Amino acid sequence: MAASPIGSNPVIVATRVDKVGTRANVARIIRVVVSLAFALVSLIPISWMVVTAFKARSDIVSAPPKIFFTPTLEGFVNLLTNRVQIPQDQAKAKLAQPNLPLFDRIAAERGQAITGPSQYTGRVLNSLIIAGASTVLSTVLGTLAAYAFSRFNVPGKSDLLFFILSTRMLPPVVVTIPIFLMYRDLGLRDTHLGLILLYTVFNLSFSVWLLKGFIDEIPKEYEEAALVDGYTRLQAFGKVVLPQAITGIAATFVFCLIFAWNEYAFALMLTTERARTAPPSIPTMLGSGGIEWSAIAAGSLGFLIPVVIVTFALRDYLLRGVTFGALKK
Amino acid sequence: MANIELQQVEKRFGEAYAVRPLDLHIQDGEFIALLGPSGCGKTTTLRMIAGLETISNGRILLNGQDVTRLRPSERDIAMVFQFFALYPHLSVWENIAFPLKSQGERRDSVDKQVRDVAGLLQIDSLLKLRPGALSSGDQQRVALARALVRRPACFLMDEPLGALDADFRETMRSDIKKLMLDQRATTVYVTHDQIEAMAMADRIVVMSQGVVQQIGTPAQVYHDPATLFVARFIGSPGMNLLTGTRGSDNALNLPGGNSYVPPPVWQGRVNHIEGEAVVIGFRPEAVDIQPDGALTGQIFSVDLHGSYTMLVITLGSETNVVQARVNRDDDYQVGQQVRFDVKPDMVRFFDPKTEKAVS
Amino acid sequence: MLRPCQDRIAPHGKTLSQGLQVLNRMAAISARNASPSVPRRRGMSDRQIQWLFIAPTLILLVLMNIFPLFFSLYLSFTEYSVIKPNNPPVWVGLENFRHLLQDKQVWTYFALTGRYVVLSVALQTLVGFGLAMLLREKFKGNGLITTLILIPIMMSPVVIGLFWKLIFNPSYGIFNYLIGFTTPNAGPDWLAKPATALGAVIIVDVWMWSPFVMLLCLSGLKAIPDYLYEAASIDRASSWYQFWRITLPQVAPLLLIAILFRTIEAFKTFDLVMGLTGGGPGDATELAAVNLYRVAFTRFNTGESSALAYIMLVIVMAVSNLYVRSLNRVREG
């Protein structure tokens, strides 16, 4: 606001005549109230989910909703293991054993014994494999294509770019029907490779756009200097462009990873048992008494944590990524 | 048109003063320059007059009316910003019309006023263009037009020529001055360029670090600077300032073994200065090179400026220099010893402790 | 030897003297390379690299996009069911399309989707933009706050749907509790009544995406320099006038991108609905994409679902076209 600095940092207080006084103060109070309300509204549902993951069954279904409760790992046990009911005295005997592993103890407290890991763990593994492989592929191929689009006069460039972007705009259901048929004939139905290919393609459209934006920002002069110094175009690409693009590549990698990790529709429609990933599995957790909310919450929490970490790591690129590179913030 | 009065106006940020209590009375139709280096408080003062900064203390009166608490929109002022502040998505016509349309004036009367002003500033051919398509000189004209179309009580200008190329600046300078004269406008003009202020202003307010150093006409600040700061800041180059210590017989000992006796009219006043040291000031054109001159020095450099020549003369060592303006035809060599006098009606004296001039 | 040099110099528009300098240097390098003692390094030409880099992407896209799209187009003109592989597709011309366009149900679903898209996007935009206007002077932008409010977007929509299912539960969900109904069952059962189910979906969608719109608008708002407002206030513009003539036009391009993007995504909504309501109660929240899923993978009417898919495709493509054009305009500054 102050135009002339006086050595020290000018105090950042509104100094325009019409921005002080009672009217302006009231406006300021309203703003604070609104921002607090907004923050609360944003966070309550998510924190509720986090809390539910640690609630016992009875606490979840109590009315009015319980805010204070004793935390338990019941939900995680339900999520990650298969159990059977065992008679009371057997359960009691188990509990008496020293050094009983935590999960067994929790199961025993509910009159159950663990028979093995649940499907869910296998599904998470599938998610990891499929998401990981497809993200690597789409990032690598995307970087190459983005470089070409950025540096060369590819014939029909803007049409091609539009075509690539429009892939991302398609409703997944539209593409799934023919791919379902294709995969069935090629034996790719319910395979890891099938999903990997599909995710790669969908992520490619996004990664090409995002990476092109990053590469556009690297001045061409660096490569030109390398070329003049006798390097080939490929070497210039490797020695000059890639190192400078590394942060953009990393950001793109993470965005693609998130998409593949969260993907539901394709996984739902193209897989059943072998290659099914976690997202389609979570809604179907039914326990002995109906929907196992704590298990679902535990699963969702497991999903949430990597996302939070990653979102925080990417915070400088968030807006850019989410708007396909429109905003450079 | 209007007169503006600032009464003990000050601006503080916490404990620090941006502008110390300032009194200024601007007459109707006067062109006042607020002059000083960056951070001296000139822009803050201008913004206080505009209402873009609150006043920590004091009052501002516009035509006798206390406007201290009024918003910028309620004061009858127009402002030209250094970076033009043109609305980028509006055409030139719309930019100039903005202040009129914001008051809800009818389109046909607005159009006439816009075209009149555009004609005055010779930008009528640009009316349909957007600011982004114009050169900076033209953009500044549009900014001026926008201010003019308002016919406000006074014009405030914040370094309007700062963003222009050097050649443009000179033509724009005289254009603005002529424009304001024709409009009989009261103008407050902020600049750090003393040449600009000297050329354009009726009176100059010289400021440094929030303190007003002197308020006077260009002639006054040039010939009778009130402080050492003004002496140094005004004129290119600034005034020669030599520190002398009191010697015997009213003489002052100057560097280089020189001894200077102040002219009789100044004797009494110089004696009133407390302490051993007295500062003597005189402009380059006050130096009179004479073979029997009272002061001696050695020529350090000879700079040809075409219509005149500037000599840099050292007195004793290179830390004590005097710049002298001499005829272009005269011949001088580097290293040459010269003797010179200081023209008695052009010498001034300063108290080094208070930094003020002896009056 | 001269041609490759020209290829590299010309596109970069160097001046003649600079170009000559480069030529000289390259001549020197080539001369050195041509001498028998230094083996000549032959790199791939730019054209080869260009195609090499783009080819895999294009091939994959063609295989997984173009080809399926054409196949789908073909299927839309047939009567076929995936689960009856022994009955090959039978050409029926425009029959599928005619049937679909005359089917009242289909129109109902499209209308439902349209209502959803309009309401949801409008609400998100209003809330997001309103928040941006309110918060712009307090908001410190980066870091923790941005992360927190963008978390919902980064999560799996099906998981979010599931969660809100719990929250909307009439017996033990906190939604009714929070908006003021202290005893359970006193508040409406949002997900069980057709009238309110769509509203529930809209509420979740607005919750998820308003922060996104807000951040986008904030970027635009912050980019407006202060001195424009100062000039406007000196020009005696009222706050409303300033908003209308300065703020809005400057934010408009970003706002447009947000609206178009959200419109396309809202039209595609599938995951969220599947998690929250499964399309129900009944078909009260059967949005276009959900319906398509049902026709294709529950009723296995492949021909008809392909036709339906194409109709949806045309609509999405039209809006996407607008979106990409606005996107390009903003990216170019």
**For residue A8, pLDDT beyond 50:** no
Side-chain half-sphere of B48: how many Cα atoms within 13 Å? 32
State how far Cα A207 lies from the chain centre.
Answer: 15
Nearest CA in chain A to C154: A307
Side-chain half-sphere of A16: how many Cα atoms within 13 Å? 15
Summarize pLDDT for A33-92 with one digit per residue, the tens: 877 777 778 888 888 888 888 877 777 777 666 777 777 787 787 777 777 777 888 778
Range ranked top by mean pLDDT from A107-111, C153-157, C276-280? C153-157
E strand or H helix that includes residue B1: none
Distance CA B24, CA B44 (A): 15
Q: Print the SS3 string covering chain C.
A: CHHHHHHHHHHHCCCHHHHHHHHHHHHHHHHHHHCCCCCCCCCCCHHHHHHHHHHHHHHHHHHHHHHHHHHHHHHHCEECCCCCCCCCCEECCCHHHHHHHHCHHHHHHHHHHHHHHHHHHHHHHHHHHHHHHHHCCCCCCCCHHHHHHHHHHHCCHHHHHHHHHHHHCCCCCHHHHHCCCCCCCCCCCCCCCHHHHHHHHHHHHHHHHHHHHHHHHHHHHHCCCHHHHHHHHHCCCCHHHHHHHHHHHHHHHHHHHHHHHHHHHHHCCCHHHHHHCCCCCCCCCCCHHHHHHHHHHCCCCHHHHHHHHHHHHHHHHHHHHHHHHHHHHHHCC
Percentage of chain A modeled with pLDDT above 70: 87
Contact A106, A77 (CB under 8 A): yes
Three-state secondary-structure class, residue B290: coil
CA distance between the termini of chain A: 22
Q: Would you call C237 and B77 a contact, using CB atoms and an 8 Å cutoff?
A: no
Distance CA A314, CA C315 (A): 33
Of A35-39, C51-55, C273-277, the range with the lowest mean pLDDT is: A35-39
Tell me what pLDDT residue B1 has.
62
Distance CA A127, CA A129 (A): 6
Indicate the average pLDDT of chain B. Answer: 90
Tell me what pLDDT residue C8 has.
40
Mean pLDDT score, C75-92: 80
Tokens 């809100």 sit at which residue? C164
Tell me what pLDDT residue A320 has.
72
Contact A311, A318 (CB under 8 A): yes
State how far Cα C287 lies from the chain centre.
Answer: 17
Under the banding of pLDDT at 50, 70 and 90, the label for residue B190 is: very high
Sign of CA dihedral C156, C160, C163, C169: negative
Residue A18: list chain C partners with CB under 8 A.
233
Distance CA A123, CA A146 (A): 33
Tell me what pLDDT residue B209 has.
93
Neighbour tally for B145: CB within 10 Å: 27
d(CA A270, nearest CA chain C) in Å: 10
Residue type, C301: N
Please report how the helices C248-267 and C104-135 are oriented relative to each other, as an axis angle in degrees rounded to 10: 150
| CA B195 to each of CA A127, B36, B181, B191: distance values in angstroms, whole numbers, following the listed order | 73, 12, 19, 10
d(CA B76, nearest CA chain C) in Å: 9
Q: Would you call B73 and C237 a contact, using CB atoms and an 8 Å cutoff?
A: yes
Global pTM reads 0.74
Q: Would you call C250 and B73 a contact, using CB atoms and an 8 Å cutoff?
A: no
Summarize pLDDT for B124-142 with one digit per residue, the tens: 899 999 998 998 889 999 9
**List of residues 6+ apart from C256 with CB closer than 8 A:** C326
Tell me what pLDDT residue C6 has.
38
Under the banding of pLDDT at 50, 70 and 90, the label for residue B346 is: very high
Indicate the average pLDDT of chain A. Answer: 79
Q: Strands B154-158 and B77-80, how do they pair?
A: parallel
Tell me what pLDDT residue A38 has.
79
Tell me what pLDDT residue A15 has.
66
Tell me what pLDDT residue A12 has.
39
Three-state secondary-structure class, residue B177: helix
Does the domain at C99-331 match CATH 3.90.1300.10? Answer given as no
Contact C281, C263 (CB under 8 A): no
Task: Just give the CATH number of A120-284.
Answer: 1.10.3720.10
Nearest CA in chain C to A320: C216
Nearest CA in chain B to A13: B13
Tell me what pLDDT residue C181 has.
60
Summarize pLDDT for C143-185 with one digit per residue, the tens: 566 677 777 888 888 888 888 888 887 777 777 777 766 555 5
* Largest Cα span, chain B: 80
Of C33, C219, C317, the CB nearest to A319: C219
Residue-range domain boundaries for chain A: 120-284
Residue type, C288: A
Q: Would you call A144 and C162 a contact, using CB atoms and an 8 Å cutoff?
A: no
Tell me what pLDDT residue C123 has.
94
Mean pLDDT score, B43-71: 91
Summarize pLDDT for A245-263 with one digit per residue, the tens: 888 888 888 888 888 888 8
Tell me what pLDDT residue C36 has.
46
Of A50-59, B106-115, B194-203, B337-346, the range with the lowest mean pLDDT is: A50-59
Of A191-195, A276-280, B96-100, C56-60, the range with the lowest mean pLDDT is: A276-280
Q: Would you call B16 and A1 a contact, using CB atoms and an 8 Å cutoff?
A: no
Of A47-61, A187-201, A279-293, C291-305, the range with the lowest mean pLDDT is: A279-293
Summarize pLDDT for B299-331 with one digit per residue, the tens: 999 999 989 999 999 998 888 899 999 988 888
Q: Would you call B73 and C241 a contact, using CB atoms and an 8 Å cutoff?
A: no
Candidate CATH numbers 3.40.220.10, 3.40.50.300, 3.40.50.880, 3.40.190.10; the one for domain B4-227: 3.40.50.300
Q: Strands B337-342 and B348-350, how do they pair?
A: unpaired
**For residue C309, pLDDT beyond 70:** yes
Under the banding of pLDDT at 50, 70 and 90, the label for residue A3 is: very low
Q: Which of B84, B98, B114 has the highest number of chain C CBs within 10 A, making it the mutation to test binding with C?
A: B98
Q: Would you call B39 and A5 a contact, using CB atoms and an 8 Å cutoff?
A: yes
Under the banding of pLDDT at 50, 70 and 90, the label for residue B8 is: very high
Under the banding of pLDDT at 50, 70 and 90, the label for residue C40 is: very low
Summarize pLDDT for C216-250 with one digit per residue, the tens: 888 888 888 888 888 998 888 888 888 888 898 88
Tokens 């976690």 sit at which residue? A278
CA distance between the termini of chain C: 40
Tell me what pLDDT residue C5 has.
39
| CA B215 to each of CA B173, B345, B349: distance values in angstroms, whole numbers, following the listed order | 21, 22, 19
Tell me what pLDDT residue B24 has.
94
**B8 shares contact with chain C (CB less than 8 Å):** no
Tell me what pLDDT residue C10 has.
39
Query: B251 versus C145: which is more confidently predicted?
Result: B251
Q: Would you call C234 and B87 a contact, using CB atoms and an 8 Å cutoff?
A: no
What are the tokens at A72? 């338990």
**B43 shares contact with chain A (CB less than 8 Å):** yes
Residue C227: list chain B partners with CB under 8 A.
81, 83, 85
| CA B284 to each of CA B136, B232, B351, C222: distance values in angstroms, whole numbers, following the listed order | 36, 12, 21, 51
Of A4, A15, A16, the CB nearest to B43: A4
Of C230, C236, C238, the CB nearest to B99: C236
Under the banding of pLDDT at 50, 70 and 90, the label for residue B5 is: very high
Q: Which of A328, C323, C239, C242 is nearest to B90 (CA)?
A: C242
Domain B237-350, what architecture? Answer: Beta Barrel (2.40)
Residue count (chain B): 359
Percentage of chain C modeled with pLDDT above 70: 80
One DSSP character per residue, A255-324 reads HHHHHHHH--HHHHHH-SSSS--HHHHGGG-EETTEE-HHHHHHHHHHHHHHHHHHHHHTTTTHHHHHTT
Q: Which of A174, A212, A301 has the highest number of chain C CBs within 10 A, making it the mutation to test binding with C?
A: A174
Distance CA C164, CA C276 (A): 7
Interface TM-score (ipTM) > 0.90: no
Summarize pLDDT for B265-301 with one digit per residue, the tens: 888 888 888 888 899 999 999 999 999 888 999 999 9
Give the strands of the sheet with B57-62, arranged side by side. Answer: B16-26, B4-13, B57-62, B65-66
On the 0-12 / 13-18 / 19+ scale of CB atoms within 10 A, C223 is exposed
Under the banding of pLDDT at 50, 70 and 90, the label for residue C125 is: very high
Side-chain half-sphere of C194: how many Cα atoms within 13 Å? 5
Tell me what pLDDT residue A6 has.
39
Mean pLDDT score, B216-238: 93
Tell me what pLDDT residue A286 has.
57
**List of residues 6+ apart from B212 with CB closer than 8 A:** B20, B22, B24, B205, B206
Q: Would you call B72 and A16 a contact, using CB atoms and an 8 Å cutoff?
A: yes
d(CA A29, nearest CA chain B) in Å: 21
